[in-house]
């Protein structure tokens, strides 16, 4: 099939590369000439495991193309995906300017019937708005569909190639059959293609992300309760997750969710509910709990060292909001670092891939080190934000030698409480008993 993807960001590029991999002829469009030139060379502007290699391979084999020519790309393909950004507006709602602009561009360029699929995350009713925007610019028919993405950063290729399900919001059988054929190579193991109306598909995306966000915030609230009662959140998590009706996923406590999806999608769904007269209280609570949880590590540092942190050096492991990405959008680490700096602390940080992005955001306000152990030299404490694999089984003897005080604040519960006690660390984690030598280390 000949396919055009408008937007070459995270979703558009993953979609284009994976569809090209299955033999389709795909054109990805972006309005920035420098970005298009980089993509033609296989260089992508963000980190996603395996994606740069897949893009380069499909470009070399002639199935994946990049251009700034929107009109030419629209005329070249009967199937067009809209995968442009939908950033949050000031009131929390999704900003659809880029989506509607793309729809108008499609309408102006159409020289015959097209199937137009919104891949961007959009609120309910957007398919109708896209249809009307196209109709205002052309007399040709457009079959407008919704096909929300469910890609996890760090695992996008796996999620696209082997999806849990494919959701198709369609209003006619011709579009449904075309999209079933397009996605057939990705569901050979029996995972479902769910066909529904466009409104239901649009709500499905937001509802799924809000449900996952709710599990995270709920377990973080439970972790707070465990801390105040002497319970162990890891045991509670296992007890809850073993219930087949609940399951074990997204029940790990931590320092809150971040990234480009959960925060904005929870807010956008809450805004839509408010506009439609539906009580959004549960979503408001999810957001409030998450924002409070982002302060967990800085609060622990203040409890341990005092309000004034001038003269203290804090080492940070992990900057990205999750492993296997360089995404710093709404990362909990930014909340911690900015607060530590405001209190006078010196911050030295390491992340396997996100330091360039962190430097763009924070500038020279903090120091960066190429190796994770290098941030520890003379530091008063180690703060862990991201559960990167190199942090999971470190050399604890080396950590103790390098730190001025063997104090660890672990926002991801990477280590055993019992092991840290035996190793002589002062150790604070989420929802578990703290290991505090008596008298406290360094006092």
Task: Report the 3 state secondary structure along 18-41.
Answer: HHHHCCCEEEEECCCHHHHHHHHC
pLDDT number for residue 400? 96
Task: Quickly tell me which residue has 């604890």 as its tokens.
Answer: 396
Length of the chain: 443
Q: Which residues lie across from 145 on neighbouring strands?
A: 117
Q: How far apart are CA 411 and CA 383, in angstroms?
A: 7
In CATH terms, 294-428 corresponds, of 3.40.50.300, 3.40.50.720, 3.90.1170.50, 3.40.50.1980, to 3.40.50.720
Q: In what order do the strands lie in the sheet with 165-169?
A: 64-67, 25-29, 2-6, 79-82, 114-118, 142-146, 165-169, 192-196
Q: What was the pLDDT predicted at 443?
A: 53
C-alpha span between 4 and 81 (Å, rounded): 6
* Cβ–Cβ under 8 Å, residues 198 and 170: yes
How far apart CA 70 and CA 229 sit, in angstroms, is 60
- For residues 5 and 16, is the Cβ–Cβ distance under 8 A? yes
C-alpha 80/C-alpha 197 separation (Å) is 19
Out of 3.40.190.10, 1.10.1040.10, 3.30.420.40, 3.40.50.970, which CATH number does the structure's domain 205-292 have?
1.10.1040.10
Please state whether the peptide bond connecting residue 439 to the residue before it is cis, i.e. omega within 30 degrees of 0: yes
pLDDT of residue 273: 96
Give 123-134 as a DSSP string: -TTHHHHHHHHH
Numbers of helices and strands, H then E, in the chain: 17, 14
The pLDDT score that the predictor gives to residue 189 is 84
28 catalytic, yes or no?
no
Q: Which of 28, 226, 261, 301 is catalytic?
A: 261
pLDDT in tens, 356-403: 999 999 999 999 999 999 999 999 999 999 999 999 999 999 999 999
**Which pLDDT tens digit goes with each residue over 76-88?**
999 999 999 998 8
What pLDDT, in 10s, does the model give residues 401-442?
999 999 999 999 999 999 999 999 999 999 999 998 866 555
- The superfamily (CATH) of domain 2-196 is NAD(P)-binding Rossmann-like Domain (3.40.50.720)
Tell me the β-bridge partners of 317. 350, 384
d(CA 153, CA 396): 30
Helix, strand, coil % in the chain, rounded to nearest 5: 45, 15, 40
> What pLDDT does 439 receive?
61
Q: Please report the pLDDT score of residue 21 as a whole number.
A: 97
Q: Which residues contact 26 (CB under 8 A, 6 or more apart)?
A: 3, 4, 5, 16, 17, 19, 20, 58, 63, 64, 65
> 434: Cβ–Cβ under 8 A, 6 or more apart, which residues?
426, 427, 428
User: SS3 of 269, please?
Assistant: helix
Q: What is the spatial distance between Cα 103 and Cα 328, in angstroms, rounded to a whole number?
A: 30
Residue ranges in the chain modelled with pLDDT below 50: none
Residue among 169, 175, 185, 354 nearest 258 (CA):
354
Q: E strands of 236-352, at which residues?
A: 313-317, 346-350
The pLDDT of residue 441? 55
pLDDT at 405: 95
Tell me the domain boundaries of the chain: 2-196, 205-292, 294-428
Please name the residue that has the structure tokens 């969710």: 257
| Fold equal for 2-196 and 205-292 | no
Cβ-contact 318, 326 below 8 angstroms: no
Contact status, residue 398 vs residue 378, Cβ threshold 8 Å? no
Dist. CA 421–CA 377, nearest whole Å: 22
Q: What is the pLDDT of residue 190?
A: 80
Distance set, CA 209 to CA 4, 131, 332 (Å): 27, 26, 18
Helices 97-109 & 126-135, crossing angle to 10 degrees? 40
Q: How far apart are alpha carbons 266 and 271 in whole angstroms?
A: 9
DSSP one-letter string for 353-375: S-HHHHHHHHGGGSEE-SSGGGG
């Amino acid at each position: 099939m000949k396919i055009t993807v408008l937007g070459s960001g995270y979703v558009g590029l993953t979609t284009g590369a994976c569809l090209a991999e299955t033999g389709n002829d795909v054109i990805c469009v972006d309005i920035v000439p420098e970005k298009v030139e980089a993509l033609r060379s296989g260089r992508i502007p963000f980190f996603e495991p395996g994606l740069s290699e897949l893009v380069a391979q499909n470009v070399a084999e002639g199935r994946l193309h990049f251009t700034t020519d929107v009109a030419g790309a629209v005329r070249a393909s009967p199937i067009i995906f809209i995968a442009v950004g939908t950033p949050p507006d000031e009131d929390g709602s999704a900003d659809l300017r880029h989506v509607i602009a793309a729809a108008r561009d499609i309408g102006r360029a159409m020289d015959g019937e097209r199937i137009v699929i919104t891949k961007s995350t959009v609120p309910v009713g957007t398919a109708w708005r896209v249809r009307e925007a196209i109709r205002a610019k052309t007399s040709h028919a457009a079959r407008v569909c919704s096909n929300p993405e469910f890609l996890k950063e760090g695992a996008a290729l796996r999620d696209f190639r082997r999806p849990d399900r494919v959701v198709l919001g369609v209003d006619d059988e011709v579009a449904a059959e075309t999209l079933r054929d397009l996605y057939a190579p990705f569901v050979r193991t029996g995972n479902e293609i769910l066909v529904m109306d466009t409104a239901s598909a649009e709500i499905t995306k937001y509802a799924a992300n809000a449900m996952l966000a709710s599990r995270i915030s709920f377990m973080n609230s439970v972790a707070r309760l465990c801390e105040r009662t002497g319970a162990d959140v890891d045991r509670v998590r296992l007890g809850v997750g073993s219930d087949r009706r609940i399951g074990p996923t997204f029940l790990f406590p931590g320092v809150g969710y971040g990234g480009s999806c959960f925060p904005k999608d929870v807010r956008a769904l809450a805004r839509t509910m408010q506009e439609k007269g539906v009580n959004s209280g549960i979503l408001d609570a999810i957001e409030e709990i998450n924002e409070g949880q982002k302060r967990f590590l800085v609060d622990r540092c203040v409890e341990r060292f005092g309000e004034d942190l001038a003269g203290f050096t804090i080492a940070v492991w992990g900057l990205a909001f999750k492993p296997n990405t360089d995404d710093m959008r709404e990362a909990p680490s930014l909340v911690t670092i900015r607060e530590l700096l405001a209190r006078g602390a010196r911050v030295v940080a390491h992340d396997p891939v996100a330091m360039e992005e962190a430097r763009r955001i924070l500038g020279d306000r903090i120091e960066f080190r190429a190796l994770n152990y290098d941030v520890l030299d003379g530091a008063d404490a180690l703060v862990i934000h991201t559960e990167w694999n190199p942090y999971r089984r470190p050399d604890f003897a080396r950590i103790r030698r390098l730190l001025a005080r063997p104090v660890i604040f672990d926002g991801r519960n990477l280590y055993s409480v019992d092991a840290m006690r035996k190793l002589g660390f002062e150790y604070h984690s989420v929802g578990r008993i703290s290991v505090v030598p008596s008298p406290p280390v360094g006092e």
